[in-house]
Amino acid sequence: MRRLFAATLGLACVLSLSPVPAVASDNGLSIRPAMGWSSWSWVRRTPTEAKIKAQAAAMKSSGLSAHGFVSINLDDFYQKCDANGFQVDGNGRWLVDPAKFPNGIKALADYVHGLGLKFGFYVTPGIAQNAVTANTPVAGTSYHAKDIADTSKTEKNYNCKHMYRLNYSSPGAQAFVDSWAAQYASWGVDYLKIDGVDATTIDDIQAWASALRKTGRPITFALSNNLPIANAATWKQLANSWRTQGDVECYCGPGPNGSGYPLTTWSRVTGRFASAASWQQWAGPGGWNDLDSLELGNGDQVGLTADQRRSYFTLWAMAASPLLLGTDLTAPNSTDMAMLTNDRLIGVDQDGAAAGRIVTSGVQQVWRKREANGDYVVALFNTGTSGNATVSVKWSQVGFSGSADVTDLWSGGHVGTVAGSYAVTLRPGETRLIRARVLSSQSSVGRQGR
């Protein structure tokens, strides 16, 4: 299966047909979109060492890692807080809650690495109020917390809050971020999500991007969430991915803060179609448009039908979004596992380019991308919740004329030669994903999309 996956990726190396007016991050990472699992959707506010280890073990034993899902990302709520916010160490950095992680983060990362996987972590910008109150020293410098904090402004934080902005006019501010990044590197972090950032915190993003490079450890840098597209060139220059919208989670489960099943809704998923089209031009090797977690793995209880889940995966793959599962990997659903281990779908996600939307009419959508060998990958969707829809596309809209040899990428079935156009009748929420190989007697005529 590994050999099949590698062959799929080799075949799917893509030509960029729409130059992006920005350089990619220079950290040399995320040449292909990240693949793995994140704790937020399912574990939510109650992460523990035992829970994260169980998910990592399940990723390995289920075979998902053999198909490219290799990152185990611990999100928020691992920290220790008091009434004044985050408790901090002697250098002003967040303390990990020992009740949740008794052996510390390095031991957890070592466990994950021992399974042949990568370990991801989470932070938000700024410096904790408790660090300023204690005036903790900045590691390796003569600066202290009060020298680098702007206590007139707070930073966004979703957990303990009480975070002040850093004053980057003081050299100690960058040194503080450097020390925090160095700590993460020493723990074995391979992927870092910085949350709560936007156009007002570009200085923080720049500081963290610089700090991560200084560690000498390859650490993929992800921005979250709902980043403004007006600053897309900046995100592309500084980071390896950026969340293009808010959370895909519906927060409509029966547990505290809306936890538990369902995890999402169809409207949360279909709300990504427009943003994926708008952001398409900014994706490419080194930096990707992140559509948020992929809630596949636990069957219908996530809040979507099987048809909708296939469409969900298809859109993420066509958009070349990071594929970060948000489900409980210890309770896999066989239907979903067949989806997630479909190397043809994974290959579409990992082929190095985001698709462009070429048809949008009511519930009907068509997306396309062209691969280096001249093949076109085309996705047709019925995004409705009732009623079948016949979705069609002319080959001239896709980018060529004449006939093509067509393969269904979900089933692997060979459709055969199709001339002029392609049409399919889809159930509500259903998708069809095809590869169209232009016959040798035909010539490419169009370059819309990618």
pLDDT, residue 447, reads 39
Please, are residues 244 and 275 in contact by the beta-carbon 8 Å criterion? yes
**pLDDT beyond 90 at 441:** no
pLDDT band at 22 (very low <50, low <70, confident <90, very high): low
The percentage of residues in the chain with a pLDDT greater than 90, rounded to a whole number, is: 90
Residue identified by tokens 């990071």 is 322
pLDDT at residue 448 tops 60: no
- List Cα–Cα distances, 267 to 249, 270, 345, in angstroms: 11, 5, 22
Task: Look at residue 314 and give its three-state secondary structure.
Answer: helix
In whole angstroms, give the CA distance from residue 368 to residue 303: 27
For residue 58, the one-letter residue type is A
Question: Residue 445 pLDDT > 90, yes or no?
Answer: no
First to last CA, the chain: 28
To which residue do tokens 């519930």 refer? 363
Higher pLDDT, 418 or 20: 418
Segment 372-398 shows an average pLDDT of 96
| Per-residue pLDDT, 449 | 44
Two tokens, residue 283: 């994706």
| 3-state SS, residue 267 | helix
Q: State phi, psi for 184 to the nearest 5 degrees.
A: -60, -40
- For 22, counting Cβ atoms within 10 Å of its Cβ (0-12 exposed, 13-18 middle, 19+ buried), the class is middle
Give the C-alpha separation, 232 to 242, whole Å.
9
Q: Is the pLDDT of residue 211 over 70?
A: yes
DSSP state of 281: G
Q: Could you tell me the two tokens for 164?
A: 């002040």
Instruction: Give the model confidence (pLDDT) of 66-117 as tens digits.
Output: 999 999 999 999 999 999 999 999 999 999 999 999 999 999 999 999 999 9
**pLDDT tens by residue, 185-203:** 999 999 999 999 999 999 9
What pLDDT sits at residue 440?
66
Residue whose entry in the numeric block shows the structure tokens 């969707």 = 381
Looking at residues 108-131, what average pLDDT do you find?
98
Contacts for 122 with CB less than 8 Å, ≥ 6 apart: 73, 74, 75, 76, 78, 192, 193, 195
Give CA separation, 214 vs 26, 79, 88, 123, 223, in Å. 13, 25, 23, 17, 18
Least confident of 404-408, 410-414, 445-449: 445-449
**pLDDT band at residue 225, thresholds of 50, 70 and 90?**
very high
Domains of the chain: 2-355 (3.20.20.70), 358-438 (2.60.40.1180)
On the question of pLDDT at 450 being above 70, the answer is no
- Indicate whether 18 pLDDT > 90: no
Count CB-CB contacts under 10 A for residue 187. 18
The predicted-structure confidence for 323-368, as pLDDT tens digits, reads as follows 999 999 999 999 999 999 999 999 999 998 899 999 999 999 999 9
Number of neighbours of residue 185 by Cβ within 10 angstroms: 19
User: Which residues on neighbouring strands pair with residue 122, listed in sequence order?
Assistant: 193
> How confident is the model at residue 294, as a pLDDT?
98
Q: Which of 113, 133, 125, 130 has its CA nearest to residue 156?
A: 125
